Chains A and B, each alone.
Chain A
Amino acid sequence: MNDQSLARAAVLRPPAAGPNPVLRLSGIGKSFPGVRALQDVELALYPGQVTALIGENGAGKSTLVKILTGIYQPDAGRIELDGAPVRFPTALSATQAGVTAIHQETVLFDDLTVVENIFLGHQPRNRFGLLDWGRMTREAKAILDRIGARIDPHVTLRELGIASKHLVAIARALSVEARVVVMDEPTAALSQTEIEELYELVDRLKADGKAILFISHKFDEIFRIADRYTVFRDGQMVEAGLIADVTEDHLVERMVGRSVDTIFPKRHAAIGPEVLAVEGYSHPTEFEDISFTLRRGEILGFYGLVGAGRSEFMQALFGVTKPSRGTVRIGRQAVAIRSPAEAIGHGIVYVPEDRGKQGAIRPLPIVQNVTLPSLGRTSRKGFLRMAEEFALARRYTERLDLRASALDQPVGNLSGGNQQKVVIAKWLATQPRVIILDEPTKGIDVGSKAAVHEFMSELAAEGLSVIMVSSEIPEILGMSDRVIVMREGRLAAEFPREGLTPEMLVRAAAGYGRAA
């Protein structure tokens, strides 16, 4: 079935009888140069109900959030608030209309106080038109109390943890008499207990009669808190309805546009001798006493909660930061890794989680990205040889089935999944012995995800050793030969593939004593 017929066959169920929607979007379209982000989109949000917005990355969810909050203007369609058409030409106008959002990344100010973060842009004034700090502080305290947040309104945001920052964002949303609250992946960076607290808060907001748009990739949480759902695919609304009427499999199928049975193509690889041995790696503030070994052809999963120190450890292993103690052996030889250049020299490479900042150099062409760490091989006596560069880049990008119009195309013009392929191609071109993949499929579409998993498998089969840091349990379970769990900067557990269950991972990551 092709996309077009799917779109045409989209079932638009009429909303069940009940209250009228607070906010209704119809026929919304938005294009960017070369991309049609949204096309003829419908969405309705009801008071006292949570509507889950479901879709793959790139389906148009973020664009929709930005239209709802006045950051972007739609090219077509209308927005109705209580049945009356409205426009949100600025972020402020959306806020004033009672539409607020808690964004994916906390878009708040680290150096400003909690009070200021809550009221910035709509501060109460006194009769001279000057800011009324007294009133702001009182109201901030009241709102924080209302959502059960025990946060001192006078501390700066920098001093707060991620969960508290989210609470401040929510307090900010409530400070404007919000009627519609958009939550864009609010649980992405939270621990299990913090997520439970957030659910309670969402329940309270529902009870207050707020209409909530809840964007999430996690189906368990969608089924836990949503009343309704809307599925987006490729910038179009595919289906909407009541959560009670559907199953998870159905939603996944609508979201992906095909059934999902080929996701983890883990092959059996012959596990060879030990390639890497890390002993007692420690850092003053980030991790302590990390020891493990890695063997040829093995995929070693690193699981843990966000903030468990996995990325920090991997970056130290790659030479970005310096460990305070510990040794690394490659083969039988003890080595010191003081910089990425040295790590690369020893055959250890790292595909970072933050692709945009640390991985891809977006304005530069694909070929220059791929050959960067291999320039020593493609050049002669320090002088560039373009033919060699193109040949090297072609060999590895074609192998990864990169979708690009030319090798001199800027990487920034590619989709997230293809950017990731460029980063991986860059490292494969160095012919490494150990490849560290940090959240390798975060933020890429399902198709590219499967491709990444497939060649991860294949690389292992060819004798490369893979370390995969992932927070997605299915990915960890599906791909790893062995799993190490980290918690609060330390090793918490190590499991073989056989008999490993999601519960074991979650309990180890959260700590046995504090398991939810």
Chain B
Amino acid sequence: MSLAEGTRPRHIPDRLSGRMGHALRSWELLLLLVGVAIFVANSLLSPYFLSPWNLSDATFNFTEKAMIAFAVAMLIIAGEIDLSVAAIIALASTLMGLALQHGAGTPVLVGVGLLTGLLCGLVNGTLVTRLGLPSIVATIGTMSLYRGISYIVLGDEAFNGYPASFALFGQGYAWWVISWELVIFAVLAVAFGVLLHRTNFGRQVYVIGNNDTAAAFSGVRVQRVKMILFLLTGLMSGVAAVCLTSRLGSTRPSIAQGWELEIVTMVVLGGVSILGGSGSILGVVLAALVMGMVTFGLGLLNVPGIVMSVFIGALLIGVIAIPRLIRLARTGRAA
């Protein structure tokens, strides 16, 4: 059959007219359209929206969350989750505050923030990859633990008085209305995009999310990849902690409360399958922009934060439910 001398093997083309790619990209296209629509709606509803400085302010609504969302997206694609990210911010910020009390300067503060993030990621990664705990429960546990430590340290107090040079990360501008935070966001977006879509490591993340047993049987060091993802998520939470602490100029144990939900929402809204195996960084970037603009637009209209969260929650369910409802209605009619 196959290899007898003289028979030519049947040719298999590389791609079939990019059919798969279309389906994947259509989600990002939809997000883009939604984003444009919200942008237009905002600019019509509020006369203040289109000012460059207002728009620049609006970016702070998503930059810190999106940094973490990139890493969480990779973690979710690999079939795990980290719900402790906001608590890591709290702990990192608290330890930065402690370092400040002991007279640490800006470089040390940044170092403490990033190191705390890495350490928390290491704990999460150890619980999941070494002890084999389900990540959702393990990180619900560490979420309470990390924030709990912040509460033990701070109680109802706060750390204030961060040095002026430290303010650069959350309050500084690189050029005109472009904040350093926005620059960090953009650099990280590109870096994560390349890491996930253009490297062997990124390929292994997808493979693990689709079938981790087969991945292991194919020589992929599954636990090591997952550990790296938890470390990366911890590190990004540390970066976000530096930015957020710098921006707020103070630390309370309730800092970034509830962010884990917004970050997961951002990731899912970005088209990452909560079940793992698929998703893109571009989608997460677009989702971050959409969510940031919605929050900012509603803010300009004086809608309270908690009502915005209703919108975010509805968005989270809606983006998944609506396509499924349409499919259900279609098959229902066909039957």
Contacts and interface: CB of A to CB of B under 8 A. Distances in A.
B210 A363 contact: yes
B16 A409 contact: yes
B170 to A, nearest CB: 33
A373 B219 contact: yes
Interface in A397-452: 397-410, 426, 450-451
A405 B203 CA distance: 23
Contact of A361 (B12, B15, B215): B215
A368 B15 CA distance: 13
Contacts of B1: 401, 450-451, 454
A360 interface: yes
A375 B203 contact: yes
Contacts of B215: 361, 372
B13 interface: yes
Interface stretch (B2-10, B111-119, B124-132, B258-266): B2-10
A372 B198 contact: no
Contact of A357 (B12, B199, B211): B211
A400 B12 CA distance: 12
A247 interface: no
Given A368-B207, A384-B199, A390 B14 contact: yes
A402 B12 contact: yes
How many chain A residues sit at the interface, stated as a range, is 35 or more
Contacts, number: 120
Contact of B3 (A350, A360, A390, A455): A455
A367 B14 contact: yes
Given A341-B219, A383-B198, A454-B3, A407 B13 contact: yes
A407 B14 contact: yes
Interface string B1-34: 1110000011111111000100000000000000
Interface in B169-214: 198-204, 206-207, 210-211, 213-214
A398 B10 contact: yes
Contacts of B214: 357-361
Nearest to B3: A458
Interface residues of B, number: 34
Interface string A14-30: 00000000000000000
A382 interface: yes
A144 B15 CA distance: 57
A376 interface: yes
B41 interface: no
Contacts of A450: 1
A346 to B, nearest CB: 11
Contacts of B278: 363
Contact of B217 (A320, A364, A399): A320
A352 interface: yes
B16 A408 contact: yes
Interface centre among A350, A359, A367, A375 (most CB of B within 10 A): A375
Contacts of A360: 211, 214
A400 B10 CA distance: 10
Contacts of B217: 318, 320, 340, 350, 352, 358-359
Contact of A358 (B10, B213, B220): B213
Contacts of A394: 12, 14
A362 interface: yes
Interface in A46-68: none
Interface string A302-337: 000000000000000010100000000000000000
Contact of A406 (B13, B211, B218): B13
Contacts of A341: 219-221
B12 A451 contact: no
A344 B216 CA distance: 12
A341 B224 CA distance: 12
B10 A406 contact: no
A186 to B, nearest CB: 27
Contacts of A344: 219
B200 A382 contact: yes
Contacts of B216: 320, 340
A511 interface: no
B220 A405 contact: no
A339 interface: yes
B148 interface: no
B249 interface: no
Given A320-B216, A405-B12, A408-B16, 19 more contacts: A341-B219, A341-B220, A357-B211, A357-B214, A360-B214, A363-B277, A364-B206, A368-B203, A368-B207, A372-B215, A375-B200, A384-B199, A398-B10, A401-B1, A401-B3, A406-B16, A407-B13, A408-B14, A426-B218
8 contacts: A357-B211, A362-B211, A364-B206, A368-B203, A368-B207, A399-B2, A401-B10, A407-B13
- Nearest 3 A/B pairs, CB to CB: A401-B2, A398-B9, A406-B16
Interface of B: 1-3, 9-16, 20, 198-204, 206-207, 210-211, 213-221, 277-278
